[in-house]
Amino acid sequence: MLTSRTFVKRTRAGAVVKVVREHYLRDDIPCGADACPLCPAQPGQLLALEARPSGAASSLCPGPHYLLPDTNLLLHQIDILEDPVIKNVIVLQTVLQEVRSRSAPVYKRIRDVIGNPEKHFYSFTNEHHRETYIEQQQGESSNDRNDRAIRVAVKWYCEHLKKMQNEDVQVIFLTNDRNNKEKALEEGITAYTCEEYIKSLVANPDLVDRLACVSDEGKEIESGKIIFPEHLPLSKLQQGIKSGLYLQGTYRASRDNYLEATVWVHGDAEENKEIIIQGLKHLNRAVHEDIVAVELLEKDEWAAPSSVVLQDDGQNEDDIETEEEKENILKISVNKNMLRPTGKVVGIIKRNWRPFCGMLCKSQIKEARRHLFTPADRRIPRIRIETRQADKLEGQRIIVAIDGWPRNSRYPNGHFVKNLGSAGDKETETEVLLLEHDVPHQPFSQSVLSFLPKMPWSITEKGHFVKNLGSAGDKETETEVLLLEHDVPHQPFSQSVLSFLPKMPWSITEKDMKYREDLRHLYVCSVDPPGCTDIDDALHFREMENGNLEVGVHIADVSHFIRPGNALDEESAKRGTTVYLCEKRIDMVPELLSSNLCSLRSNVDRLAFSCIWEMNQKAEILKTRFTKSIINSKASLTYAEAQMRIDSASMNDDITVSLRGLNKLAKILKKRRIDNGALTLSSPEVRFHMDSETHDPIDLQTKELKETNSMVEEFMLLANVSVAQKIYDEFPEFALLRKHPAPPPSNYDILVKAAMSKASFYHYRSLS
């Protein structure tokens, strides 16, 4: 233990508690170098540094070396660090903690890189190592203390590695902080900027394009005409928001007019309002989805949403007069009857930048290295990047990240991240679509797949997994196989036999089936779109002896396979839903579950949750019960097949009779729901016709809705209502009611404009 600090703290209940914080240090934390003779052995440690790094050759440090970046370099150059060329990197605990507090997305990305054994990134706990922990000195800022802690860790690594026998491995300190680098060099540490090191990798010149162009907006601008007003510091913004001088909200750029945006002001429902921002200077370098601070203009300067469509034509950024002419067009074309609160952006509270997909606009200047990038999302401004491979990237879909936006530039600065492929290519455009809508679509990791059940898998009569007999070649295992294959009875004696034995402290393990109801005798069926393989619900209907009707909804029991908190559960939660594209599907869970074990396919036993009602002929619910169950669907039908059975006079089998009963009840349920004021949303679904050879979409067809579509919908809604009621009855303090907020006025803009145009037309006709 190094330090012990005691202080008192008052709880919400008003009690005063004594808090003691102790900082423990250890001397057994390994350096991470694989098979280091000086560090304690770490069995099973896969994420270790290579003993003799063999990464990309550097002209600055041709020998084997490790890289150790500081916080700012990791924050701004994460695209470089993620590249396969960069390996054997030491990430300090100090750096990770700072990154975590400053950027959650970058923190997640670096944790993913550290978890990739092929990259050989090692997280070193320097804050708990006896020889690398340092106290903050009096008068020293937290930032200076952390910089010093990083340099101390670098020096320790250098001295530690020198003690390794027959090793000449260097530790290279990477920092873009000029003062930090100078101090490191004074202390005898080998230090380079990221640009210096990357340019020294002679075998990878393309990596230079991925360097982030980091500029400090607070520094004095050296050249160029100042276009934008200076952003106010965060402290002044917070004071202004608290006093009511400024308003905080989410910046939303217009798709049709790059000189216009709205800011949705945060606050209570009655305080929520939209502020219009018009003109390049008033936009003041805000990017779509940024959290900004806005100052309201005087009422005589208020404007209305413009109907003018303006697109950035990529003109010379010094030609600001043309921009002012366009702003005048906006002012002339406003509708005086639609004036709204108007303001200007005075500061950025939180940037929401992300990598953007789009295409390169190659400069017309010969051998130019600076080019403009046009994002696929028209709400994002063009981005200036520097690249040596403009000829190669022309006509390609690429990813670019924003690094900063100086006051003397019409466009933000950025850097090239990745080439997705040729524009117009099906796979490339699909990738763009998924990336732009932030749909997780990477292959499932091995850690996720490790939680899948082993195949082949089946349900036994007792409702549990088939037994794992043991290792092949083991005597007891092979004996078990022999007995099973020859059908030799060798199971434990039954209870009736054991009842004749003396009483002993002996018990039988509970079986899964004890908690499940066997419903395999029911005529359960599923009704889904054509080609559906992930069947997650099924229905049944039958008449009861008392004259009432029994209806059941059966939902696949995914929780049997996905346990809370494991990697499979976390990945499924992250994906949230299955995403369907015209030619493929992005699964929420691995295909083994979605299309097999958790798919209620016909003629196989499957585990389910069942909601079963007893109804009268008027579809009034008399009883409701819920149960874990095991079912065996008798038919997997499409909507058209189910409709054909209902309409066919010649078909009267059990499944068809069940469908007719369900359809009759569904009509009653729907009428009652509509009569009670239910909202009906009619959004047409589409279906793609694919070329049988190329698998390209060749036609688009609106899906025809049948009675069976409504039938399934009604019983799914009814099951949701019943489950919600059950949750409310059993856990009222945890039951949630979803309440949608009032839609913002801008949602009605198109309708209002269309209505006004129509009214103007009829007024003109009446006058003529």
CATH of the domain at 372: 2.40.50.700
User: Which tokens belong to 16?
Assistant: 């005063």
pLDDT of residue 550: 96
Find the mean pLDDT for residues 746-754. Answer: 77
pLDDT, one tens digit per residue, over 362-421 is: 887 777 788 999 999 999 999 999 888 888 898 999 999 999 999 989 999 999 999 999
Residue 552 has pLDDT above 60, yes or no: yes
Could you tell me which of 685, 508, 526, 510 has the C-alpha nearest to residue 600? 526
Residue 477 has pLDDT above 70, yes or no: no
CA distance 260 to 310: 9
Residue 81 has pLDDT above 60, yes or no: yes
CA 7, chain centre distance (Å): 40
Residue 514 has pLDDT above 70, yes or no: yes
Residue 30 has pLDDT above 50, yes or no: yes
Q: Is 416 found in the same domain as 341? A: no
pLDDT, one tens digit per residue, over 136-176 is: 888 999 999 999 999 999 999 999 988 876 567 889 999 99
Last residue of a domain, one of 373, 402, 436: 436
Query: What count of other Cβ atoms lies within 10 Å of the Cβ of residue 275?
Result: 24
pLDDT of residue 306: 77
Domain CATH for 124 = 3.40.50.1010
Q: Is 258 found in the same domain as 371? A: no
Residue 60 is given by DSSP the state: S
pLDDT of residue 751: 80
pLDDT of residue 326: 65
Binned at pLDDT 50, 70 and 90, residue 502 comes out as very low
Residue 520 has pLDDT above 50, yes or no: yes
CA distance 18 to 592: 53
Q: Is 544 found in the same domain as 644? A: yes
Q: Is residue 497 included in any domain, yes or no?
A: no
Q: Is 75 found in the same domain as 29? A: yes
Find the mean pLDDT for residues 5-9. Answer: 71
Q: Is 202 found in the same domain as 263? A: no
Domain CATH for 275 = 2.40.50.690
CA 597, chain centre distance (Å): 26
Last residue of a domain, one of 436, 451, 469: 436
pLDDT of residue 269: 47
Query: What count of other Cβ atoms lies within 10 Å of the Cβ of residue 600?
Result: 25
Can you list the alpha helix ranges (DSSP code H) found in 4-43? none
CA distance 19 to 723: 45
Q: Is 362 found in the same domain as 346? A: no
pLDDT of residue 623: 95
Whether the Cβ atoms of residue 445 and residue 263 lie closer than 8 Å to each other: no
CA distance 193 to 67: 11
SS3 505: coil
Q: Is 302 found in the same domain as 206? A: no
Find the mean pLDDT for residues 484-507. Answer: 38
User: Which tokens belong to 38?
Assistant: 């000086």
Task: Tell me the residue range of the domain where 307 lies.
Answer: 234-350
Binned at pLDDT 50, 70 and 90, residue 478 comes out as low
Q: Is 674 found in the same domain as 574? A: yes
H/E element, 267: none
Whether the Cβ atoms of residue 540 and residue 552 lie closer than 8 Å to each other: yes
Binned at pLDDT 50, 70 and 90, residue 505 comes out as very low
Binned at pLDDT 50, 70 and 90, residue 499 comes out as very low
Binned at pLDDT 50, 70 and 90, residue 758 comes out as low
Q: Which amino acid is at 546?
A: N
Find the mean pLDDT for residues 63-76. Answer: 92
Q: Is 620 found in the same domain as 604? A: yes
Q: Is residue 269 included in any domain, yes or no?
A: yes
Q: Is residue 72 included in any domain, yes or no?
A: yes
Residue 359 has pLDDT above 60, yes or no: yes
pLDDT of residue 36: 81
**224 vs 307, residue with greater confidence:** 307
Last residue of a domain, one of 412, 436, 460: 436
Query: What count of other Cβ atoms lies within 10 Å of the Cβ of residue 619?
Result: 20
Q: Is residue 133 included in any domain, yes or no?
A: yes
Which residues partner with 542 through β-bridges?
550
Kindly report the average pLDDT of the chain as a whole number: 82
Residue whose entry in the numeric block shows the structure tokens 């990309």? 56
Q: Is residue 493 included in any domain, yes or no?
A: no
Q: Is residue 116 included in any domain, yes or no?
A: yes
Q: Is 375 found in the same domain as 321? A: no
Q: Is residue 569 included in any domain, yes or no?
A: yes
Q: Is 408 found in the same domain as 526? A: no
Could you tell me which of 401, 399, 403 has the C-alpha nearest to residue 435? 399
pLDDT of residue 760: 62
Could you tell me which of 245, 382, 385, 247 has the C-alpha nearest to residue 317? 382
Whether the Cβ atoms of residue 742 and residue 298 lie closer than 8 Å to each other: no
620 CB-near residues (< 8 Å, 6+ apart): none
Q: Is 532 found in the same domain as 679? A: yes
Find the mean pLDDT for residues 665-690. Answer: 83
CA distance 261 to 253: 4
Residue 94 has pLDDT above 90, yes or no: yes
Cα 681 to Cα 133, 366, 388, 757: the distances in Å are: 62, 56, 52, 26
- Does this model's pTM top 0.85? no
CA distance 599 to 557: 9
CA distance 548 to 684: 36
pLDDT of residue 485: 61
Please give the tally of structural domains in the chain.
4
Q: Is residue 603 included in any domain, yes or no?
A: yes
Binned at pLDDT 50, 70 and 90, residue 40 comes out as confident
pLDDT of residue 328: 65
Binned at pLDDT 50, 70 and 90, residue 62 comes out as confident
